[in-house]
Structure 1
């Protein structure tokens, strides 16, 4: 049996924009393991039709959609050795 998505928590509200990857990065935790999640600009634009491409706008779009994005991260997360997931 695989790990339950209930083991994935997001106690740290930090997020950052990675200009080289064109994504917002945030972190979840499965017990003591840190899991990196990346949400690309395209996904943020899908969630916000009036989005401009500036860093402040992309971070604000992430913040407005945080609950939905965390839900997508929980669905995507499978446990195991992988420690980075792209949401696109």
Structure 2
């Protein structure tokens, strides 16, 4: 099976300082975290207005397509149930 992203929900995990989203490989759930630093380096940095959570979720939404592509590549390298994507993954 291939990795699919049928659920558009995402959340900010303050303890990890990352945005969490879910993918599925058939019936298996795969959890991904995108570090806030990776979102900041995407060119959408926190601007001081609103909360960091809202800013990072907005940055995630703006970059969702490329984030899902990077997540798929990470998953293809080795199948696990959880991944943390860092700025290095987006180079």
With the length of structure 2 as denominator, give the TM-score of the two structures. Answer: 0.83
Q: What is the match of residue 5 of structure 2? A: 10
Q: What is the match of residue 75 of structure 2? A: 77
Is 2:44–2:59's contact at 8 Å kept on the other side of the alignment?
no
Is 2:11–2:20's contact at 8 Å kept on the other side of the alignment?
yes
> How many aligned residue pairs are there?
82
Unmatched 5+ stretches in structure 1: 1-5
Shift of 1:51: 2.8
Output the aligned Cα RMSD: 1.6
Q: What is the match of residue 3 of structure 1? A: none
1:25-64 residue pairs with structure 2 within 5 A?
Answer: 25-52=20-47, 54-64=52-62
